[in-house]
Structure 1
Amino acid sequence: MTQSMTGFARGSVTTEGLTVTVECRSVNNRYLDLHFRMPETLREYEPQMRAQISQSFARGKLELSVQYQQNKTTSEAALDTDHLNTLQAALKQISTFFPDAEAPNQLTLLQAPGVLSERPIAVEILISATTAALKQCLETLSQNRREEGAKLAAMVSDRGELIRALLLSLRQQLPALQQAHREKLLARMASLELTADAKRLEEEIVYVLQRADVEEEMDRLDAHLDAINAALIGTVPCGRKLDFLMQELNREANTLASKSTALNTTNTAIEFKVLIEQMREQIQNIE
């Protein structure tokens, strides 16, 4: 299955008054490159998260954001009695300087910074919720990348079929092109009034025609297109292989252009290169 390397996904899990949200943005990259933004509480869990991600993806730069929030309706408040005692002692001392001042009530004391705080979340619960949210996020991201990858594969395949059509047309024209080249060589030799015997001239013509023959290049182009189609429908990441095959296609197109003895062949080689470049642009985004 062809996968794209770009995508965005979000996973969110709520459990025991805690909501964990994981967001992931993926872009092109030669390797698997992971970046995390998350609370320090979860830093020690990063290796497990990396392992979980690497089971799903082989390439791409992934930026992950992890956030959590306690549900206010279910979270419990913790009273810092030591801090409250210190605050009361300070107020008692202040009252000796301002005996007529009104003493703060209980609500005011509880609203003082540090007196009340949310109870710490159990690390086990946080990690469990993060694992579930990450799994949900990765499944969505993988689905998105597969859907985008299918579109990329279709575009690459379409360009490949256009190249095949050009190859078929060139093959049909080849006998006539070779005959025209042969006649041109004979006419040139006749104009030079060469004295060599007919057998030697025929050997030279055959040699020149063989050097200009592009059958092998066309066969290799066909073979590379078959390999591309096989990679696109395979079950393993194929981006690197496709990138290599693009280089091979381009090499054959260049050789075909350099051997060209007719405008038709040259124009076909140029069309090959345009289509190959269009394929290469799409393949840069395939995992």
Structure 2
Amino acid sequence: MALSSMTGFARADGVVGSAAWAWEIKSVNSKGLDVKLRLPPGLDAAEQAIRQKIAGHVTRGSLFANLSVKREAAASEVRINETVLAQVLEAVRLITERLDVRAPAVDGILGIRGVVDVVEPEETEEERMALQTAVLAGLDKALADLVAMRRAEGAALGAVLNERLAEIAALKQQAESNPARRPEAIKARLAEQIAAVMDTGKAFDPDRLHQEALLLASKVDIREELDRLDAHVAAAAKLMGTGGPVGRKLDFLAQEFNRETNTLCSKANDVSLTAIGLELKAVVEQFREQVQNLE
């Protein structure tokens, strides 16, 4: 599987019957999958199916999906309420007979509330299902385009991350071959420190002095940190080669990189080794920042 970023945008639209629909989907970074939907009235029943489709394509990111539907204005229908009209006409007849007045004109009768209604045609169940089917198919297309965009960005991120991993491996090798790590260099540095202490004129127990020297030598040994950096580089490379939603695992490895680098810097017994450690910290931070964008 390919690496994917968490940012992307896609749009899909179409027409079914008298309705024109359009999907707009965008996603940004998030710790998990957070889907925000905006649906027009009448399509609430499709929400569960929509969420299932999204979850089938995207596993991480804050995703905003907006569906808009515009219907062409249909011809209104004029409906006469026969029951009300009959009651009105009967009332008119009674009034005109009793009062001996002229019957009202037709427009007057039609103007009475309830006699005539102008209604918009209602959407049939077949039309509603056809629209729902069309927008779900359109969602599939939009999600496919979104995934393609996220993978394209993921490929670019992968290239950058591989460069950072190569830099980490190279700096680790520099630290491993640094002259300050050689036993003779450590011995010479310890000898200088001991000589400086002895110049104070204080007496020291030779056995205790030997123990302190061994302790100091063990404190500046970075063999374990170098081995762990090697293991983390290999694990990160394997994850990136596997692809898919590996952002969380790589983020964890970035934290481990940082932990080993901090320990290396604290153990450094020479300015040259400290400089390598600081440069390593900078590259690890760059790696971590880019990993935050991966799904």
Q: TM (normalized to structure 1)? A: 0.82
Q: Which has the higher Rg, Structure 1 or Structure 2?
A: 2
CA positional deviation for 1:228 = 1.1
Superposed, 1:16-35 pairs within 5 Å as 16-35=17-36
Residues 176 and 230 (structure 1), Cα distance of their counterparts in 2 relative to 1, 3 Å cut: closer
Contact 2:35-2:63 at 8 Å conserved across structures: yes
Contact 1:159-1:279 at 8 Å conserved across structures: yes
User: Which moves more between the two structures, 58-67 or 227-236?
Assistant: 227-236
**Residue deviations 1:8-56 (CA, integer Å, cap 9, x gap):** 1001233334332111010111111111122121112111100110011
Q: Which secondary structure does the structure 1 equivalent of 2:244 belong to?
A: coil
Q: TM (normalized to structure 2)? A: 0.80
Contact 2:16-2:131 at 8 Å conserved across structures: no
2:11 is the alignment partner of 1:7: no
2:123 is the alignment partner of 1:120: yes
CA positional deviation for 1:201 = 4.7
**Residue deviations 1:85-133 (CA, integer Å, cap 9, x gap):** x9xxxxxxxxxxxxxxxx9xxxxxxxxxx84746526210111011011
Where structure 1 has 5 or more consecutive residues not aligned to the other structure, the ranges are: 87-102, 104-113
Contact 2:178-2:273 at 8 Å conserved across structures: no
Question: In structure 2, what is the equivalent of residue 80 of structure 1?
Answer: 78
CA positional deviation for 1:160 = 1.2
CA positional deviation for 1:58 = 0.9
Contact 2:11-2:22 at 8 Å conserved across structures: yes
Residue in structure 2 matching 1:146, options 147, 151, 154: 151
How many Å separate the matches in 2 of 1:10 and 1:118?
30
Residues 164 and 116 (structure 1), Cα distance of their counterparts in 2 relative to 1, 3 Å cut: same
Residues 174 and 117 (structure 1), Cα distance of their counterparts in 2 relative to 1, 3 Å cut: farther
Residues 29 and 186 (structure 1), Cα distance of their counterparts in 2 relative to 1, 3 Å cut: same
Question: In structure 2, what is the equivalent of residue 230 of structure 1?
Answer: 238
CA positional deviation for 1:178 = 4.3
Contact 2:3-2:240 at 8 Å conserved across structures: yes
2:54 is the alignment partner of 1:49: no
2:259 is the alignment partner of 1:239: no
Aligned residues: percent identity?
A: 34
2:174 is the alignment partner of 1:166: no
How many Å separate the matches in 1 of 2:268 and 2:157?
32
Instruction: For 2:218, give the aligned amino acid.
Output: Q
CA positional deviation for 1:176 = 5.5
Q: Which secondary structure does the structure 1 equivalent of 2:44 belong to?
A: helix
Question: In structure 2, what is the equivalent of residue 180 of structure 1?
Answer: 185
